[in-house]
């Protein structure tokens, strides 16, 4: 009995996959790295990723308000779930950074984690990259116009046995101009779709902005904990070199050059960190969007669902990695050295130099 149900389930899934492949495929998606501009206000372009980020922030604020407007001493329902999520993440931060630093790091790490996670999961809704403004082009999708009263609209036709790629006019088609004229004569519209909504983190500017914010807070934590001189000495460690030159000690000069070079490498690593943060998040989210678009085009039913599940996992992992690395780099910044470490090192060098000098009996 169970074997028959399994076979029927497999057959049904295969039929759905074939039906989606033949009848529900749309035209080949037009994949662009740069976000599309919806409208401009003066010299400021409002892009679809910018609009999505506003919606994400607004939804997070509304959800937080609705979940906390009736706060009770004994949590239950949504409040219980919210406290469990926030409390669990706070305990994770404290376990990494300790109680004192955890309280300082938590607001930044939690903001990064929940914003990135919500933005990644929100972009998986089917309305993304499918509904937008039509832009006339000499090639592109063939869209049918629909009269919805004051709102002009159109939609892209689905595929069929004779048109598995959907109705589209290719850019390298020598008869593109004639085909466009024919379609317009039929009342159709030829062009591209500028989607209203697109994944926030598929725009390079958002991961870069988050990386810059993370770097600013890491440097602030380091300077406020160790002091500007001690923390800056990690990057500009010239004390040993200057002492070696002052004492005409070739060994100390050589060691000072090494220390200065290591400090320069630390400065380079701090800068490169911005690039790695940015492209790690951007690359994973953009690749996931491309995979979903292509499989939706190829097999709209059944086979696309596993990739949605994969993107749910990837979105969670990327949010956690971004927040966790911010915590780790913050801990490295505040524990690089203790105040007075340079003075103590100078005293040690001074003592070693004194021991090497010959003892004067008159002293």
pLDDT tens-digit map of 111-141: 999 999 999 999 988 888 877 776 666 666 6
Token look-up 């046995």 returns: 161
Q: What is the pLDDT of residue 213?
A: 93
Tell me the residue length of the chain: 363
Instruction: Print the domain residue range for 238.
Output: 201-356
| 291 lies in some domain | yes
* pTM of the predicted protein model: 0.77
Return mean pLDDT, the chain. Answer: 77
pLDDT reported for residue 357: 47
Q: CA distances (Å), 279 to each of 168, 247, 249, 259, 282, in order?
A: 33, 47, 45, 30, 5
Number of domains in the chain: 1
What integer is the mean pLDDT of 326-355? 59
Any domain includes 275: yes
What local confidence, expressed as pLDDT, does residue 156 receive? 67
CA–CA distance, 127 with 146 (Å, rounded to integer): 19
Query: What is the H or E stretch that residue 357 is in?
Result: none
Which tops the pLDDT comparison, 286 or 245?
286
In-domain check, residue 334? yes
Going by C-alpha positions, the residue among 81, 115, 113, 79 that lies closest to residue 96 is: 113
- Looking at the domain assignment, is residue 64 inside a domain? no
Beta bridge partners of 153: 146
pLDDT-derived band at 147, boundaries 50, 70, 90: low
| Residue 341 maps to a domain | yes
* Per-residue pLDDT tens digits for 45-74: 889 899 999 999 999 999 888 877 777 767
Higher pLDDT, 57 or 352: 57
Rounded CA-CA distance 97/214 in Å is 16
Higher model confidence: residue 169 or residue 338?
169
Has residue 179 got a pLDDT over 60?
Answer: yes
Tell me whether residue 196 is in a domain.
Answer: no
Q: How confident is the model at residue 201 (pLDDT cuts 50, 70, 90)?
A: very high
Per the domain annotation, does 153 fall within a domain? no
What values do phi and psi take at 46, rounded to 5? -95, 110
Q: What would the mean pLDDT of 246-272 be, rounded to a whole number?
A: 75
Which pair of structure tokens corresponds to residue 275? 């690039």
Residue whose pair of structure tokens reads 């697109």 in the numeric block: 198
CA–CA separation, 79 and 68 (whole Å): 7
Is 240 contained in some domain?
yes
Who contacts 53 (Cβ-Cβ below 8 Å, separation ≥6)? 119, 200, 206
Task: Evaluate if residue 234 carries a pLDDT over 70.
Answer: yes
Q: Is the pLDDT of residue 44 over 80?
A: yes
């Amino acid at each position: 009995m169970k074997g028959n149900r399994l076979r029927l389930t497999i057959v049904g899934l295969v039929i759905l996959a074939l039906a989606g492949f033949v009848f529900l495929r749309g035209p080949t998606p037009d994949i662009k790295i740069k976000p599309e501009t919806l409208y401009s206000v003066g010299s400021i372009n409002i892009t679809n990723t910018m609009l999505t980020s506003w919606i994400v922030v607004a939804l997070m604020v509304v959800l937080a308000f609705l979940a906390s407007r009736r706060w009770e001493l004994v949590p239950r329902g949504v409040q219980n779930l919210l406290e469990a999520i926030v409390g669990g993440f706070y305990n994770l931060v404290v376990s990494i950074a300790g109680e004192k630093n955890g309280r300082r790091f938590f607001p930044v790490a939690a903001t990064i984690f929940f914003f990135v996670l919500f933005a990644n999961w929100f972009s998986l809704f089917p309305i993304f990259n499918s509904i937008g403004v039509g832009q006339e082009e000499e090639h592109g999708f063939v869209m049918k116009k629909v009269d919805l009263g004051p709102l002009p609209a159109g939609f892209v036709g689905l595929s069929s046995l004779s048109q598995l790629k959907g109705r589209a006019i290719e850019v390298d088609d020598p008869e593109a101009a004639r085909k466009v004229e024919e379609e317009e004569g039929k009342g159709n519209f030829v062009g591209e779709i500028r989607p209203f909504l697109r994944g926030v983190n598929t725009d390079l500017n958002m991961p870069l902005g988050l990386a810059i914010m993370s770097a600013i807070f890491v440097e602030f934590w380091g300077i406020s904990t160790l002091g500007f001189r001690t923390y800056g000495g990690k990057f500009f460690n010239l004390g040993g070199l200057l002492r070696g030159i002052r004492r005409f000690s070739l060994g100390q000069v050589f060691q000072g050059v090494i220390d200065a070079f290591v400090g320069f490498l630390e400065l380079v690593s701090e800068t490169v960190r911005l690039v790695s943060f940015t492209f790690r998040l951007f690359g994973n989210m953009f690749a996931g969007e491309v995979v979903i678009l292509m499989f939706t085009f190829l097999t709209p039913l059944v086979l696309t669902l596993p990739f949605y599940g994969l993107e749910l996992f990837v979105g969670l992992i990327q949010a956690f990695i971004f927040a966790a690395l911010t915590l780790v780099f913050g801990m490295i910044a505040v524990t690089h050295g203790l105040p007075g470490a340079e003075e103590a090192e100078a005293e040690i060098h001074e003592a070693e130099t004194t021991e090497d000098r010959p003892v004067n009996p008159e002293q």
